[in-house]
């Protein structure tokens, strides 16, 4: 087959340029312009190669002095020829360097994929961890767009939360990702004066609760999440010497919640769910809080201070993963009202978060 700029269809005579585009060659100026415009939006080769490099921990190996492709392949359990082709592609795109044939080293971008890099990016791209699995779900985006249902179900054969329950390693990775969320800082700096007992609803392993307890010696906490997650949370808080100030409720937050809390905290929970389910969660919190307790919501919002591009991407991600959505401040006000609550204070942050303080209407 000749790389002549097009492929002729023997029946209809139509000329196709798909293979020309694949090779980065064009038969006319219009195709060249289209290629330059679309490739940055459509290339899957480089993003997947970066994720494979992260999964194989190639940056860690290079940082440890393993640089020859044969050695990298042996240490990472890869095929040397295939690995060399992938690394050469990444080198052309500025990830890693090849100072001599078959020898690959770190550069500024490749260094970001080290497991011990403070940016923590490697885990987000690892195909065996939550971040990489989340991205793979987008291979079934067509399913979501056609049906309105999460792509995760089509990609992995089961709904998101059921998948986490059946795959403890990915669930642990998910917990770690949530613990590193920027929303944690916003809730930890909330005015906790007068609060004696906070109930962290859907609190994961208790990373946020730990921050609150450390900063407020007089507060006790209750961690509410599914049983396996709470078991991990019990260990997490025990390692920090805080389990003696905590109670643990391994349950769904769609069931009646423990009563007696002064504040029921929902951090990055409601965006996982559609409006009907989010309202149901808020009602459970309202029932448990009663007339005197408060419900505090911390989420991203689509108005002042937020990045519109990030907001749009996250809203699509939440739908693809679990059927949820990002919301604006007024959307959250509507959910609060539907749950029989009244928003007594709404504060937004420069980082694009909204903190909504609610009490019984």
Q: Please list the active-site residues.
A: 271
Cα 80 vs. chain centroid, distance in angstroms? 32
Sequence-distant (6+) residues with CB within 8 A of 11 are: none
- CA atoms 356, 325, 323, 155: torsion sign: negative
Residue 100: HSE in the Cβ half-sphere, 13 Å Cα cutoff? 2
Q: Cβ of 291: how many Cβ atoms within 10 Å?
A: 6
* Three-class secondary structure of residue 51 per DSSP: helix
Tokens of residue 54, six digits: 């992260």
Give the residue among 330, 9, 6, 314 at the shortest CA–CA distance from 182. 314
| Cα distance between residue 150 and residue 129, in whole Å | 19
Q: Please, which residues bridge with residue 341 across strands?
A: 360
3-state secondary structure 62-98: HHCCCCEHHHHHHHHCCCHHHHHHHHHHHHHCCCCEE
Q: Pairing mode, if any, of strands 97-100 and 353-360?
A: unpaired
For residue 115, CA distances in Å to 41, 61, 63, 157 come to: 28, 10, 10, 30
Give the residue among 316, 351, 353, 309 at the shortest CA–CA distance from 332. 353
Q: What are phi and psi of 332, to 5 degrees?
A: -70, -35
- CA atoms 116, 118, 122, 128: torsion sign: positive
């Amino acid at each position: 087959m000749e790389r002549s700029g097009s492929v002729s269809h023997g029946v209809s005579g139509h000329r196709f340029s798909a293979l020309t585009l694949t090779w980065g060659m064009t038969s006319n100026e219009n195709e060249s312009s289209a290629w330059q415009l679309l490739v940055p939006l459509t290339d899957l080769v480089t993003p997947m190669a970066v994720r494979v490099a992260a999964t194989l921990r190639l940056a860690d190996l290079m940082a440890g002095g393993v640089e020859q492709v044969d050695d990298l392949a042996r240490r990472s359990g890869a095929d040397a020829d295939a690995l060399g082709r992938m690394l050469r592609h990444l080198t052309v795109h500025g990830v890693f360097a090849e100072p001599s044939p078959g020898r690959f080293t770190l550069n500024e971008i490749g260094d970001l994929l080290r497991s011990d890099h403070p940016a923590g990016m490697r885990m987000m791209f690892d195909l065996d961890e939550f971040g990489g699995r989340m991205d793979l779900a987008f291979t079934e985006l067509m399913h979501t767009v056609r049906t309105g249902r999460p792509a995760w179900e089509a990609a992995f054969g089961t709904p998101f939360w059921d998948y986490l329950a059946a795959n403890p390693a990915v669930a642990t990775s998910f917990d770690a990702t949530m613990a590193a969320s920027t929303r944690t800082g916003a809730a930890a700096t909330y005015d906790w004066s007068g609060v004696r007992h906070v109930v962290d609803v859907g609190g994961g392993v208790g990373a946020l609760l730990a921050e609150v307890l450390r900063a407020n010696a007089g507060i006790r906490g209750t961690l509410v999440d599914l049983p396996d997650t709470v078991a991990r949370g019990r260990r997490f808080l025990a390692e920090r010497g805080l389990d003696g100030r905590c109670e643990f409720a391994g349950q769904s937050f769609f069931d009646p919640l423990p009563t007696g809390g002064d504040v029921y905290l929902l951090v990055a929970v409601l965006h996982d769910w559609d409006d009907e389910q989010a309202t149901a969660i808020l009602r459970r919190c309202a029932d448990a809080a009663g007339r005197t307790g408060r419900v505090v919501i911390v989420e991203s919002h689509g108005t002042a201070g937020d990045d519109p591009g990030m907001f749009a991407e996250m809203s699509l991600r939440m739908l693809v993963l679990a059927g949820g959505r990002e919301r604006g401040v007024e959307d959250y006000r509507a959910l609060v009202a539907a749950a029989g609550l009244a928003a007594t204070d709404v504060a937004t942050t420069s980082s694009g978060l909204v903190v909504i303080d609610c009490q019984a209407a």
